Amino acid sequence: MNNIINDKKDIPSLDSIIECARNAGKTAMRYFRHNDRMEMHNKLNDSDIVTTADNECESYIKEFIKSHYPSHSILSEESGETQGIATYRWVIDPIDGTTNFFSGIPLWGISIGVELNGETVIGVVYLPATDELFYAEKGKGAFLNGKRIHVSDQSKLSRSVISTGFPVDKDSNPDNNLDNLAAVLPLVRDIRRLGAATADICYTAAGFLGGYWELNLHEWDVNAGLLILTEAGGKSTRFRDDRNISIVCGSPEIHDQLLPLLNTSPRKV
């Protein structure tokens, strides 16, 4: 392994990542609620889409990384993994919540996590349409637009608003989270379905939500957000190992009440 990470010029700074996320957000906002300016294509099915904006944001972020940190690896939703020679890896989702984005709903975000030796050390999530910038560095706390955030101090599940989501293969796979929804819904103040895992996790980190769970996510959906959650005092668990990344998170008290309600066993389909 190359020792290039010892060169201070090659160590990513939080400010540079925030700059990258904000500039990518400007790119995306040129298309938001202007569907006539972009193309949309299905990937897996009608629920899984990609737009011109996704691709342009990804291209911008990747070019930013290559120009500033050319030795780093990149894992991105739309183009997969590019191997570098340093021990840093950027995990990016150029637009998380593309269905919201394409529908004109403002809950979508740009997620950039930076790993060192496999551990996330910087996380930035930017929601351009609401101008909400969440960020964290390992060991330094979590912030929203410059103000420190913390998970909810509500300890009662019955007084908590919880969010969830549904897997993109819900049309063909009956293991679609409805069993968990039925178990949780009667026990909470209410359920929300925000449509972007980055927003779900960061809103949980900020205490807007008490907790969140979802099946069948991917590393780019959660990498930055989970660091922000942890630095905000939150707790998370991967409760299934057969459906990609399936997580439950929240304040420690709400997390511990949610987890036993969820089906943690692989389901035969």
Q: Is 77 a catalytic residue?
A: yes
Is 95 among the annotated ligand-binding positions? yes
Residue 171 binned pLDDT confidence (cut-offs 50, 70, 90) = confident
Q: What is the mean pLDDT of residues 209-235?
A: 97
How far apart are the C-alpha atoms of 234 and 206, rounded to whole Å? 10
- pLDDT at residue 6 tops 60: no
What domains, with CATH codes, occur in the chain?
4-148 (3.30.540.10), 157-261 (3.40.190.80)
pLDDT of residue 263: 92
Catalytic pick among 54, 56, 96, 175: 96
Flag whether 10 is marked binding: no
Query: 5 pLDDT exceeds 50?
Result: no
Question: Does residue 238 carry a pLDDT above 80?
Answer: yes
Strand-by-strand arrangement of the 80-82 sheet: 80-82, 73-76, 88-96, 109-116, 119-127, 132-137, 142-144, 147-148
CA dist., res. 217 & res. 214, Å (int): 7
Predicted confidence (pLDDT) per residue in 245-259, tens digit: 999 999 999 999 999
Q: Is 153 exposed, middle or buried (0-12, 13-18, 19+ CB in 10 A)?
A: exposed
Whether 93 has a binding-site annotation, put simply, is yes
Q: Which pLDDT score, from 0 to 100, does residue 81 have?
A: 80
Which residue out of 93, 115, 214, 253 is catalytically annotated?
93
Point out the least confidently predicted range of 69-78, 119-128, 203-212, 227-236.
Answer: 69-78
Residue 15, Ramachandran bin (φ over 0: left; ψ between -120 and 50: alpha; else beta): alpha
Is 175 marked as binding a ligand?
Answer: no
Q: Which H or E element spans position 62?
A: helix 52-68
Annotated catalytic residue, options 56, 132, 219, 221 = 221
- Active-site entry in 98, 164, 198, 204: 98
Task: Out of 27-31, 38-42, 82-86, 241-245, pick the least confident.
Answer: 82-86
115 is in an annotated binding site: no
Per the residue annotation, which of 17, 65, 74, 95 is the catalytic one?
Answer: 95
Q: What does the alpha-carbon distance between residue 163 and residue 252 come to, in Å, rounded to a whole number? A: 16
Verify whether residue 230 is a known catalytic residue.
no
Residue 268 burial class via C-beta count within 10 angstroms: exposed 0-12, middle 13-18, buried 19 and up: exposed
* pLDDT tens for each residue of 103-143: 999 999 999 999 999 999 999 999 999 999 999 999 999 99
Q: Residue 95 catalytic?
A: yes
200 given a catalytic annotation: no
pTM of the model: 0.93
| 17: annotated active-site residue | no
Contacts of 67 (CB under 8 A, 6+ apart): none
The angle subtended at Cα 132 by Cα 127 and Cα 135, nearest 5°, is 95
DSSP output for 163-207: EE---TTTTT-S-SSHHHHHHHGGGSSEEE--S-HHHHHHHHHTT
* Residue 98 bears catalytic tag: yes
Label residue 4 by pLDDT band (50, 70, 90).
very low
Proportion of the chain above pLDDT 70, given as a percent:
94
Return left, alpha or beta for 70; rule: phi > 0 is left, psi -120 to 50 is alpha, else beta: alpha
